[in-house]
Structure 1
Amino acid sequence: MPELSFTSAAPGAWRDKPWHRAWLESQANILFDLFDPVAINPKGGFFDLDPSGKPLPGSAVRPIHTTARAVHCYVIASLLGRPGSDRMIDHGMNYLWHSHRDAQHGGYMWSLDDNGPKDASKQGYGHAFVLLAASSAKLVGHPLADRMLDDVTTILNDRFWEDQHGAITEEFERDWTPMRGYRGQNSNMHLTEALMAAYEATANQDYLRKAERIADLIINRRARECDFRVAEHFDEQWSVDRSYKAVNEMFRPSGTTPGHWLEWSRLTLQLWVLGGKSHDWMPAAAETLFRRSVELGWDRSKGGFFYTLDWADKPSFRFKPWWPIAEAAGAVTFLIEHRPSPFHEEWYRRIWNTIAESYIDREHGGWFEELDENLVPAHSLFAGKADLYHALQACLIPLYPAQGSLTKAIG
């Protein structure tokens, strides 16, 4: 399918139009309708779904972020008033607390199967999502929320946080033996999101200050040094590692990842608002991150965002997962509110046109988790449907003031 050569310039912002808003709400409901009936694994956690929306064979291994993100999404559903959501929250919170939480050594194990720990390592990425789940669950009064929030905060502060750098280390063995030699932006980016949610849930300034320090390191210093390409991989002193070769394309891909530039664009503006608009560098950085992502990461021939670029800005992994364009929708929404321009409105429409034409699975519901270079559904990285997290937030963020997290805006 060729890239659109025309993007409507009809007057008025799309996100203000009742029809567009109703369409976004309907898409969010379709996502919930896909997951609600089948997602709960009776042995704990949630099933991954196959392309038709049924439990995916071989999905007995449950990584922690899948459960934590489901809790966050169903808190959103509960705040919206969607019946059945509280059961999903309770199921996920209990699995995090009673199964992923390591009663022997402390912290939260990365993945479990029906027999217990599968990968018992303690990863910053996973702990960031536990913090997000606990912070979100606190907003609906879940009985485990305060205990989990206190517990994971202590672990993050005592085990992961490196105050000399203003960011977290990456991972440990189950017994807290360090895995040395690597620092990553992805875990710190998601921790920034979770720290903001924790600040909104508790008003504890320490969460906000840590989020600001991470953003200053990764965006204001390291990304700025790279002409606002967000580096993914670093050594222990937070020097950029441009030679890093991926051993896990899903969580640590080689090169740079424009989808993360888009994610940081939104998070930086959200952090600017939460911090009282006191950091002057943040709005311009958010705008530049978005512009660089569409200049370098967007496929001008066929549309969609390439997954990765090399350091010469050439597409490396040319397939197009769902989450970068979902994050683009959230980022451009925040930009339209805080840095309004015809450029941002044009991209808002282009992004949603591409999602509607290529990413939405009209036969089975939900979104295609991956398209190839020609925008044809593919499965090189993912075996089945994507979870709710990215697509749901893309649909809902435009419906609320771009002043904080969705849970805070809805609640």
Structure 2
Amino acid sequence: MDDVNRDFSGWLRSPGHKAWLAQEGDRLLMFAKAARLSQGFGNLDDHGRLAADAVAETMNTARMTHSFAMAHINGIPGCAALVDHGIAALSGPLRDAEHGGWFDKPLEHSADKGKAAYLHAFVALAASSAVVARRPGAQALLEQAIHVITTRFWSEEEGAMRESFDRDWSQEEHYRGANSNMHSTEAFLALADVTGDARWLDRALSIVERVIHQHAAGNQHQVIEHFTLQWQPVRDYNVDKPDDGFRPYGTTPGHAFEWARLVLHLEAARRKAGLDAPAWLLEDARGLFENACRFGWDVDGAPGIVYTLDWENRPVVRHRLHWTHAEAAAAAAALLQRTHEQGYEDWYRTFWEFNETLFIDRENGSWRHELNPQNQPSADIWPGKPDLYHAYQATLLPVLPLEQSLATALSNRS
């Protein structure tokens, strides 16, 4: 990028801060290792323990596989076997050998047995990272994931991902979601790196143009989450279930931060590949970040970012979730890399100070996953500590270049 190598002072260039990020990443990995189950990875409680009846979940298994693959690439001993375990689970008990694709849990534990784009994006991400880590079975898993995404979920006509199907792919859900398309964008950036196929960058741009440039930009850069099959916003979706963990009512500032970072990764990746990178990518990333801060941070008398807002940008669910604040720090780091502007440095420090003070659990390990509106530990939306992915990535993103997906960037740095 035109000014990416220009010197600037700040935490991103500080040896002390880089060492702190690495130490925090190692601490997160040590806690997460206990999530291993015979059929994948499960949910840990506040103390890092699995319940007696814990069941492997595809989302956790894929995210853990991706994270441990990055750790292995980064030279952290003890992670290779965990990557291999994740590959085996995703290639075996979590995969539908009859109809293709992946369940949310092993078949005998899966309630609806449906196939969700959200989960398949994470399987593709995990497989791509495992390929970069050069683990056995990773390439075959990657090819399976690409085949299912290409033949079942990707809609060339829409330039976006379909949402979900029943087990045999005969019935499609009458819904389009920003969240699944966001994580598909993340996966597509990784697929472009590991396959060398620039079509994945074109597909990512198509998603971003629809969800962000067409819809979010016209909504004060607040991400519209729920749509009909014709991509018309459904503004009352889950109004009676506003704190849903994946499809909450209203807008979600945390997703605006996450999108802002992905938009900048896409811009950098397309430039690196010699492809057109529209000027609106940076403009939209700025808008997403700025309005997420404006409407989400410190808006109800206490510091922190609220979970959701209504259509007038008023807080609805005022809990603070750890993933939101991890993504806020990562987005600030990406914008700081891209622009070198002091305002993003200030936000970056603000978010990490908040995370260290309130989310990072030095006594029991990992991060508290949720705080209530008074910033006290809570378990209303996300009980326990099942998630490694968001916090661990937040320790890696600030020290890696924007133009490559995380696993590839780590590999090239090694």
TM-score by length of 2: 0.93
Taking the aligned partners of 1:183 and 1:400, their CA distance within structure 2 comes to: 32
Corresponding residue for 1:265? 260
> Per-residue displacement from partner, 1:185-231 (whole Å, max 9, x unpaired)?
10000000001001111111121111111111101111112121100
Matches of 2:109 and 2:314, distance apart in 1: 42
Confirm whether residue 159 of structure 1 aligns to residue 158 of structure 2: no
Equivalent residue letter for 1:193: E
Question: Partner residue of 1:111?
Answer: 105
Corresponding residue for residue 62 of structure 2? 68
Amino acid in the other structure paired with 1:261: A
Distance, in Å, in 1 between the alignment partners of 2:104 and 2:188 is: 20
- Listed as ranges, the matches of 1:310-329 within 5 Å are 310-329=310-329
The corresponding residue for 1:98 is 92
- Give the Cα–Cα distance (whole angstroms) in 2 for the partners of residues 324 and 164 of structure 1: 32
Percent of residue pairs identical: 38
Give the superposition deviation at 1:179.
3.3
Moved more, 74-83 or 245-254: 245-254
| 2:93 match: secondary structure | helix
Question: Are 1:213 and 2:210 counterparts?
Answer: no
Encode CA deviations 1:222-267: one digit per residue, 9 max, x unaligned: 1112121100000000111111125570111110000000000000
Equivalent in the alignment of 1:293: 292
User: What is the CA–CA distance in structure 1 between the aligned matches of 2:81 and 2:69, rounded to whole Å?
Assistant: 10
Q: How many residues align?
A: 397
The aligned residue for residue 18 of structure 2 is: 21
Mapped contact 1:134–1:148 kept (Cα < 8 A): yes
2:41 matched to which residue of 1? 46
Match of 1:188 in 2: 181
Q: Give yes or no for the alignment of 1:336 onto 2:336.
A: yes
1:58 Cα shift?
4.1
Please point out which of 78, 85, 91 is paired with 2:72. 78
CA, structure 1 residues 123+287, in 2 after alignment: closer, same or farther (shift >3 Å)?
same
> Which residue number corresponds to residue 359 of structure 1?
359
Partner of 1:138: 131
Which residue matches 1:8? Answer: none
RMSD: 1.5
Question: In structure 2, what is the Cα distance between the partners aligned to 1:102 and 1:334?
Answer: 37
Which residue of 85, 88, 102 maps to 2:82? 88
Shift, 1:335, TM fit: 0.3
Deviation at 1:346, TM superposition (A): 0.8
Letter in 2 for 1:69: R
User: In the TM superposition, what is the alpha-carbon distance from 1:164 to its structure 2 partner?
Assistant: 1.6
Match in the other structure for 1:280: 279
Of residues 221-230 and 266-275 in structure 1, the stretch that sits farther from structure 2 once superposed is 221-230
- Checking the alignment, whether the CA contact within 8 Å between 2:70 and 2:133 is kept in structure 1 is no
Higher mean C-alpha displacement, 296-305 vs 366-375? 296-305
Output one character per residue of 1:119-172: Cα deviation in whole Å (capped at 9) or x when no partner. 410000011011101111110222222222222212111111122211111111
Q: Is the 8 A contact 2:39 2:106 kept in 1?
A: no
Give unpaired runs (5+ residues) of structure 1.
1-10
* CA-to-aligned-CA distance 1:21-75 (integer Å, 9 cap, x gap): 1111111111112122x2211x211121111111134432x33111000110001
What is the aligned partner in structure 2 of residue 203 from structure 1? 196
Aligned AA for 1:347? W
> In the alignment, which residue of structure 2 is the partner of 1:235?
228
TM-fit CA distance, 1:278: 2.1
Q: Does 1:224 align with 2:220?
A: no
The gaps in structure 2 that reach 5 residues or longer are: 1-7
Structure 2 match to 1:254: 249
Cα distance in 2 between the residues matched to 1:139 and 1:180: 34
Give the secondary-structure state (helix, strand or coil) at the position aligned to 2:91.
helix
Amino acid at match of 1:361: D
- The aligned counterpart of 1:396 is 396
Letter in 2 for 1:236: L
Checking the alignment, whether the CA contact within 8 Å between 1:131 and 1:194 is kept in structure 2 is yes
Q: 1:211 and 1:365 mapped to 2: Cα distance? A: 36
Tell me whether 401-410 or 83-92 shows the greater mean CA deviation.
Answer: 401-410
Query: Structure 1 119/86 Cα, relative in aligned 2: closer, same or farther at 3 Å?
Result: farther
Give the direction of change, closer, same or farther, for the CA distance of 1:304–1:52 in structure 2 (3 Å limit): same
Kindly provide the CA deviation profile for residues 305-330 of structure 1, in whole angstroms up to 9, marking residues without a partner as x: 10000111011011011001000111
What CA deviation, in whole Å up to 9, does each residue of 1:319-361 have, x standing for no partner?
0110010001111111001122121111011001100110000
Deviations 1:266-293 (CA, angstroms, capped at 9, x unpaired)? 0000000001162211011101100000
Q: Structure 1: how far apart are the matches of 2:40 and 2:231?
A: 35
Task: State the distance in 2 between where 1:88 and 1:119 align.
Answer: 28
Query: Quick check: 2:66–2:129 contact (8 Å CA) kept in 1?
Result: yes
Distance 1:59 1:119, change over 3 A: farther
Kept in 2: contact 1:122–1:174 (CA 8 A) = yes
Which residue identity is paired with 2:190?
A
The normalised TM-score by structure 1 is 0.93
Question: Contact between 1:56 and 1:384, CA under 8 Å: does it hold in 2?
Answer: no
Q: 8 Å contact 1:333–1:398 — kept in the other structure?
A: yes
- SS of the residue 2:35 aligns to: coil
CA–CA separation in structure 1 for the residues paired with 2:79 and 2:173: 40
